[in-house]
Amino acid sequence: MNLSTQKMVEQTIESIVQITNPYGSGSGFVIDGLIITNSHVVSGLKEVLISTKSLAKTIGTVVYDDPAFDLAFIRSPVPIKPTHALLLATSPIQDGDGVIAIGHPYGLNYSTTEGIISKSSRLQGEVEYIQFDAAINPGNSGGPLLNETAEVIGVNTFIIQNSNNLGFALPFYTLKEAMDQFYALNQENIIRCVSCKNLIFEEGIQNDYCPKCGTKLEVAKRRREGYKPSGTVALVEKILVTLGINVTLSRRSQRSWRFESGVTRFDINYYDNGIIIADSALCRIPQENIEALYDYLLHENANLEHLQFSINENTIYLSFIVVDSSLEEAYGTAALRKLYHNAPLYQKDLLERFKALEPKFDEFE
């Protein structure tokens, strides 16, 4: 029985995973407790951030990395048990079949698009893909391509740039074969060689070369080296560690961090022009008491050290702004400690005393 798009989204959304690492973000989905995504989404790292509608952002472990078929499997430290588990398709697919793609394009969570299979088997290099016309964008990679009964028929993998909805998904039978091979080994930390296609135990790799055919395994090198920030980025993260903030969980990209203290959210962004802005969106301006609120903010600004209040559209921010060349560890630590300590107090004061409105955030951001 074919399901409506709305019903399909309701049944599958608990299985859709958002995946983030310092190099970018993408999508994934849960099959039999394993998170499926693309190899390029995990960027050769052993650890990535994962989250779902029911699972707060946490660190997932990449247990299988397969650049040959652009696949990766991730283990969650907390079992993800959707009410309606996703299943792989078992029937052949045909040109013209209806499809639905779900993912997080450009960070726009749980976006859904519809289309049809344009070509059920399209060879790209040595790999066979499903070509379809449902619109997908950067961030959709790794998400599921579903048929009209909500079965997974593919893993959304890539698009042709500057084209009109030319999307490609790795077919379900290729995914199933990879999963069967992975489970048969009964071990984790597995890499597939891009040349001989053998599955290699990571611990058996020496000098990043495939022990079977001698090919250089770039993914083994990236997994061994991991992510290593440098310069100003490393200094920002050192300060965050000093403040007791989990840097791995707070990273949104190589130059962006987000963390919380209770209900108060903090963002740090390091821009290309050398400016670093750490701020907290405290509240929105109410329709009453505006003059008294402005007087309060001006008075506090005159007495604040390191920090300042600002208003963008109707949102009030408490911010620390510094040029990278002026950021020193002691100075930055003192300023960010003040921001981290004072923002929740100011937020409470503004909400209660001036009846300001709570800030608006994307529910799943």
Please give the residue that has the higher pLDDT: either 97 or 135: 97
- Per-residue model confidence (pLDDT) at position 364: 46
Q: What is the structure's pLDDT at 130?
A: 97
Tens-digit pLDDT profile for residues 299-349: 999 999 999 999 999 999 999 999 999 999 999 999 999 999 999 999 999
Look at residue 108 and tell me whether its pLDDT is greater than 80.
no
For every residue of 244-296, DSSP letters joined together read T--HHHHEEETTEEEEEETTEEEEEEE-TTSEEEEEEEEEE--SSSHHHHHHH
Task: Give 113-156 pLDDT, tens digit per residue.
Answer: 899 999 999 998 899 999 999 888 888 899 999 999 999 999 99
**Mean of pLDDT over the chain:** 93
Per-residue pLDDT band for 361 (boundaries 50, 70, 90) equals: confident
pLDDT at residue 2 is higher than 80: no
Per-domain boundaries in the chain: 5-172, 231-353
Tokens 């060349």 correspond to what residue?
325
Write the CATH number of the domain with boundaries 5-172.
2.40.10.120
What tens digit of pLDDT does each residue of 275-296 get? 999 999 999 999 998 999 999 9
DSSP structure class, residue 105? G
Alpha-carbon distance of 31 to 238, in angstroms, equals: 37
Selection from 341, 309, 365, 198 nearest residue 190 by Cα = 198
* Cα distances (Å, whole numbers) of residue 218 to 24, 195, 201, 207: 19, 12, 15, 11
CATH of 231-353, one of 3.40.1360.10, 2.40.50.140, 3.30.1460.10, 3.90.180.10: 3.30.1460.10
Q: What is the pLDDT of residue 363?
A: 52
Of 9-18, 104-113, 119-128, the range with the lowest mean pLDDT is 104-113
Q: Which of 14-23, 70-79, 110-119, 276-285 has the lowest mean pLDDT?
A: 110-119
At residue 166 the predicted structure's pLDDT band, cuts being 50, 70 and 90, is confident
Residue 140 or residue 178, greater confidence: 178
Instruction: Record the pTM.
Output: 0.90
State yes or no: pLDDT of 258 exceeds 90.
yes
Tell me the sheet residues that pair with 88. Answer: 152
Mean pLDDT, range 21-36, rounded to an integer: 95
Q: Is 170 within 8 Å of 71 (Cβ atoms)?
A: yes
For residue 110, the model assigns a pLDDT of 82
Tell me: the pLDDT tens digits for 213-228? 999 999 999 999 999 9
Kindly provide the b/e burial profile for residues 15-48, where b requires at least 16 CB atoms within 10 angstroms of the residue's own CB: bbbbbbbbebbbbbbbbeebbbbbbbbbbbbbbb
